[in-house]
Amino acid sequence: MDTITLYMQYIVNGLTLGAIYSLIALGYTMVYGILKFINFAHGDILMVGAFIGLLVYNGLTGGEGAETGAWTLTAFFIAMIVSMGFCALLGMAIERIAYKPLRNANRLAPLLSAIGVSFILSNGAAWIFGTQSRRFPYPFENEPIHIGAITITPHQIVVVVVSVVMMILLTSFVSKTRMGKAMRAASLDQATSMLMGINVNRVISLTFAIGSALAAVGGILAAFDFRVYPSMGTMTGLKAFVAAVIGGIGNLQGAMIGGVLLGILEAVGAPLLHIPNGMRDTVAFAVLIIVLLVKPDGLLGKNEREKV
Amino acid sequence: MRILDTEHLTREFGGVIAVNDVDFHVEKGLVTGLIGPNGAGKTTLFNQITGVDKPTSGKIIFDGKDITGLPAWKISRMGIARTFQNIRLYKELTVVENVMMGLHFKVGQDPFHHRFSQAVKSYIFAGRENREVYRRAMDWLSFFEIEAHAQDFAGSLPYGKQRELEIARALAAEPKLLFLDEPAAGMNPAETAHLMEVVDKIRGLGVTVVLIEHDMKLVMNICDNITVLNFGTKIAEGTPNEIKHDKNVIEAYLGKEEDE
Amino acid sequence: MLNFFQLILIYAGIYAIMAIGQNCITGYTGMLSLCHAGFFCIGSYATAIICKTFGLSFWFSLPVAAIVSGFVGLLIGIPTLRLKGDYLCIATLGLGEIIRNVATNLNPVGYNSIPRATLFGYQFASRNKLAFIFLIWAFVLIFYILFQQLAHSRLGRAMIAVREDEVAAQSNGINVTKYKISSFVLGAAVGGIAGCLQTAYTLTVQPGSYTFMVSVMVLCTVVLGGMGNAKAVILGAVIIQFISYLPQLTGLTNVIPAQAKQIIYGLLLVVMMLCRPQGILGRDKYRYGDPRTRKEKLHDFFVHPRKAKGGKV
């Protein structure tokens, strides 16, 4: 394979990865937009989503050995919907219990609380499911398709299609519906939207629900590539957070673009720069810190300054 | 004699010009008022001079030295102190601790020692230094007649007292020039009257005062000079009497005042 | 049983020292840093390398551990401390992991059989826990006194001003950047010393033991006791270690899952924030304005304990 096709292949892989990052980054960005705080537990919600999806799917199909066909595909979508519902409720519950009472507290308080929630979720999962990683079986024949010299697997197509559908749904929800408009209003100015008769508490609950549901989808899609294990949310969550920052935190389009950009950068950059496997995470963290330092406002974010 | 001059001071925020080519002058020992409608750029001007924010262009000369673009803490050490429009006290600390913060660079700084050795000295002899800082902080509290509240939390003081505490904290640094950003905002008439006495007392200490204020009675009564800003531009300056009769000011500002 | 109590005391001491460092960063200056495990790691590695590779004394490694992790703290601090709350938290989390990754790649197996520390000819052997309890708690006492003095000096007050309101602090002539970095470096150096002491006790260093969990545990210690209150932080360390050894103490190691303590730490963070954000002991009760000199205070403390308690004017 010549170099150009090789890199085309990396870009295709990166696109898949990026779609997943985008879905998760949306949750970070939506919460930040309204509450101006980073939901540390978001990465762990995606882990919970992956586990629930796996449990439901295995429950419906009998797991690994099942013959792929229409039923496994249906089961996969049922699993995804159940997991989305579960995570939406989980996200709302977390917000209600651990963040809402702290909305007017010291700025460190919700952050510490979020770290606590993240710890509870990841260790709780380790307790219930054990620390070993599990494979998420493909609900369809995963025979690679060759287009020229480039190989695309059906699961990559599913990942991209599902992510794009989710993003279109979200965008039209936010721009067309009343609740979506309320969400945008609340992220611009909470006090004023309250005066305009918007139930800000409900908007925030909904934001967490949507963000967590998207994380559940992201978790299930990520499970194909990364397997399912209790600490899977940490690294994936952090990278998605970087994606949100690259795009400009608080900005929905930014999160989508940032996710795809990061996915491609990761897939192309690692082999291009010959980064050894053991150093991948180190490089990822270094990129994270550099992004935070150099471009904390991101590509599409606006510069926020404190009023004196 | 002038203590402060700004030359062509301009501050833009992404296309919006908040302060436009302003030459602002402050005479030593006098009380200067800075007035103008909401959004005229008064606080922005304060922020540029006190180093909280950096000007886009122009120059700030304080006491013969160019202080343009210096960090706030350096400007503060050169003798400019300020209060804030939305009170910025250390709310969870006690009243006396707030004033002690104002004395940060007044006690324990020895011109014959290097910074680091000063810090070591402050650390080792903290007890002795604290007693000195405490004594001086208490003096300032009695100057403002709030020494009885010394051990209360700053956030628990009534609003008017919080404003005065903020002034006390600023004065503790013994500034040459004191900026007050809407000191009477939210005060009742009795508190405002007391504030006027306080500003008089401060003038008596030889401190030059610049204040932003919307209360016209207060401004006309205590200011020696007044500068008027509108849409970021200086439209007039002079004595209260001159300002009262200035055509531009009446048009831009006092006319609006009647509507409110 | 007694064995476990002694272990708890040893680790409570080590964590108390770490927490005193974290308290300087988070409690005094208000920066939420999540890389204390990294400084702990650097201190441990420094000690292991000095004692094992170079064969030098433990007492020499002690200041070196402090200086090396303080220096790394400086390198990390200069760029990152400009970041505000949430971003700083994530950046430091990343840096903590980078430190651990680098350490792992440097020496994946760690160090074993590091020479013991000696003092006046006495060898500190791991099996003699009592000696270690004295050694480590002597350090706790020293750092407690040093940081209490800091908190109630001009320097500590400036740090607290930065925590309360950066803009106001600047306007009071406080060089915010300088105080943030100094406080971070100090906290890092103390974290390094804790690592050094731990190595002297375990005599082994493994990169696997400096995970993010350690950082959260230290943070939890500070939050549990009371941010900005050195005494409270030491109490927090004892409680946290007690929780950590609960399965062994109750003999229920088989019943209680390994994750239980981490879940409890997470719960503690959430519950403390919701119900008692100021911590068990709350804020530092110190009030300025006590006219007594240090000598008189000490006299009162020992001769009239009751009067010493109400040292308020």
Task: Summarize the confidence of residues B97-119 as an average pLDDT.
Answer: 79
Segment C221-278, tens digit of pLDDT: 998 888 888 889 999 999 999 888 888 777 777 777 778 888 988 998 899 889 888 8
Interface contacts (A, B; CB < 8 Å) = 7
| Residue B52, min C-alpha distance to chain A (Å) | 8
d(CA C222, CA B193): 47
- The backbone region for C91, taken as left when phi is positive above 0, alpha when psi lies in -120 to 50, beta otherwise, is alpha
Q: Where are the domains of chain A?
A: 3-131+149-294
Segment A31-48, tens digit of pLDDT: 888 888 888 899 999 999
Q: Cα-flanking dihedrals φ and ψ of residue A112, to 5°? A: -65, -40
Greatest Cα-to-Cα distance within chain A, rounded to the nearest angstrom: 65
Contact B100 C164 (CB under 8 A): no
Contact C104 A37 (CB under 8 A): no
A contacts of B14 (beta carbons < 8 Å):
303
Mutate to test the interface with C, among B54, B67, B90 (most CBs of C within 10 A): B90
Least confident of A85-94, B103-112, B223-232: B103-112
Tell me which chains share at least 3 CB pairs under 8 Å with chain A.
B, C
Whether residue C84 is contained in a domain is answered as: yes
A contacts of C80 (beta carbons < 8 Å):
289, 292-293
User: Which residues, at least 6 apart from A30, have a Cβ–Cβ distance to it below 8 Å?
Assistant: A183, A207, A210, A211, A252
Contact B90 C161 (CB under 8 A): yes
Report whether CATH 1.10.3470 matches the domain A3-131+149-294. yes
Does the pLDDT at position C312 exceed 60? no
Q: Which of A101, A106, A288 sits opposite C274 (nearest CB)?
A: A101
d(CA B178, CA B50): 10
Segment C45-100, tens digit of pLDDT: 999 988 888 878 888 889 999 999 999 999 988 888 888 778 888 888 888 888 88
Residue of B nearest to A307 (CA): B86
Mean pLDDT across chain B: 87
Report whether CATH 3.40.50.300 matches the domain B2-19+27-259. yes
- The distance from CA C237 to its chain's CA centroid, rounded to whole angstroms, is 9
Provide the 8-state DSSP code for A133: -
| Residue A108, min C-alpha distance to chain B (Å) | 15
- The backbone region for B179, taken as left when phi is positive above 0, alpha when psi lies in -120 to 50, beta otherwise, is beta
Number of domains in chain C: 1
Whether residue C284 is contained in a domain is answered as: no
The candidate with the shortest Cα–Cα distance to B211, out of B202, C99, A193, A295, is B202
Whether residue C307 is contained in a domain is answered as: no
**β partners of residue B227:** B34, B237
Contact C155 B105 (CB under 8 A): no
Contact A216, A87 (CB under 8 A): yes
HSE-up (13 A, CA, CB side) for residue A120: 17
HSE-up (13 A, CA, CB side) for residue C130: 1
d(CA A147, CA A275): 28
pLDDT band at A303 (very low <50, low <70, confident <90, very high): low
User: Which residues, at least 6 apart from B8, have a Cβ–Cβ distance to it below 8 Å?
Assistant: B21, B22, B23, B57, B58, B59
Does the pLDDT at position B259 exceed 70? no
A contacts of C247 (beta carbons < 8 Å):
none
Q: Where are the domains of chain B?
A: 2-19+27-259
Contact B34, B240 (CB under 8 A): no
Whether residue C125 is contained in a domain is answered as: yes
- Please state, in angstroms and as integers, the Cα–Cα distance from residue B35 to each residue in A63, A220, B182, B236, B257, following that order: 75, 61, 10, 10, 12
Residue type, A112: L
Q: Is C274 on the interface with A (CB under 8 A)?
A: yes
Domain of residue C68: give its range.
2-261
pLDDT of residue C74: 93
pLDDT of residue B256: 52
The domain that holds C156 is classified in CATH as: 1.10.3470
Residue type, C178: K
d(CA A35, CA A110): 10
Enter the ipTM: 0.89
Whether residue C112 is contained in a domain is answered as: yes
| Residue A303, min C-alpha distance to chain B (Å) | 10
Q: Please tell me chain B's helix, strand, coil percentages from 3-state DSSP, rounded to the nearest 5.
A: 45, 25, 35
| Residue C193, min C-alpha distance to chain A (Å) | 25
